[in-house]
Amino acid sequence: MSASVGDERAPDSPSARGRSLPAGAILTLLRHGQSESNRARRFAGWDDIDLSEVGRAEAETAGRLLRNGGYGFDCCFTSVLRRATHTAELALRAMGLEDIPLERSWRLNERHYGALQGLELWPAVRRYGLMPVLRCRGFTGRPPLLDTGDPRFPGRDPLYASLAAGDLPRGESLADAQARVIPYWRERIVPQLERGRRVLVVSHKNTLRVIVKLLERGGDEQMPAVRVLTGVPIVLSLDAALAIRDRRVLQHPGGRRGGSTAAGR
């Protein structure tokens, strides 16, 4: 089910409206393993950086935990950013599931951190001031925006050449990221759950926060507090109304959950 950035269609996907989920639908969420930006504590956003050595090990461990727990998958969704796609590939390989349908979409990318991308926290504060950086932590606060001439602007990246100008962010609040993710969730992922398929979503902290918020029917201001660690699988059993019936956070050997909480990156 491989898809380009501008082609999110997959075969045999029914409409997400007017249907209920089969009993015992399973959705597993996995944040990418530690990235080089996580390690350096930089804002990454849409910066296409890869996994660190620790992150590669986290991805492989996540796959082994899922395999040893008896979990399998029929399809996988991920972003177009390397740290997520690489995590998906490593985890599925560890499970012996390299051949299941894998769909990539820019809509599952991390929140875009605008002009903060590539900066560490304190250099960002020195350049833009404390409040412009701190307000990003709220639900509606946007970072300082990129100029369209900035080489970090996604409109200058061939990867996003097929996207409409209005879909190219210069910086996103959590609310903006949510608005980007929801259509994809409803149109691409929910229909697979409705078909009784076991679904794995490998993505980013803020993208996965959106999905958890939707499932928990949580308030907007609760979203920044949702805890999603790097490389730690969250297995969700859903009821027919798409609410969480059971949640399991798979632990690393020795009972340690591991992973990084590095902010937004």
Quick check: is 221 catalytic?
no
Name 16's bridge partners: none
- DSSP-assigned letter for residue 158: G
Q: Which candidate in 8, 110, 172, 194 is catalytic? A: 110
Alpha-carbon span 110 to 122, nearest angstrom: 21
Alpha-carbon span 32 to 58, nearest angstrom: 8
Contact residues for 219 (Cβ-Cβ < 8 A; gap 6+): none
- DSSP-assigned letter for residue 170: S
Three-class secondary structure of residue 161 per DSSP: coil
Q: Which candidate in 8, 32, 89, 172 is catalytic? A: 32
Closest Cα partner for 174 from 238, 225, 248, 241? 225
Quick check: is 112 catalytic?
no
* φ, ψ (nearest 5 deg) of residue 75: -160, 160
Sign of CA dihedral 77, 82, 86, 87: negative
Alpha-carbon span 113 to 101, nearest angstrom: 30
Q: Do the beta carbons of residue 247 and residue 238 sit within 8 Å?
A: no
Q: CB-based burial of residue 156 (10 Å sphere; 0-12 exposed, 13-18 middle, 19+ buried)?
A: middle
| Other beta carbons less than 10 A from residue 164's beta carbon | 8
User: Annotated active-site positions, please?
Assistant: 32, 110
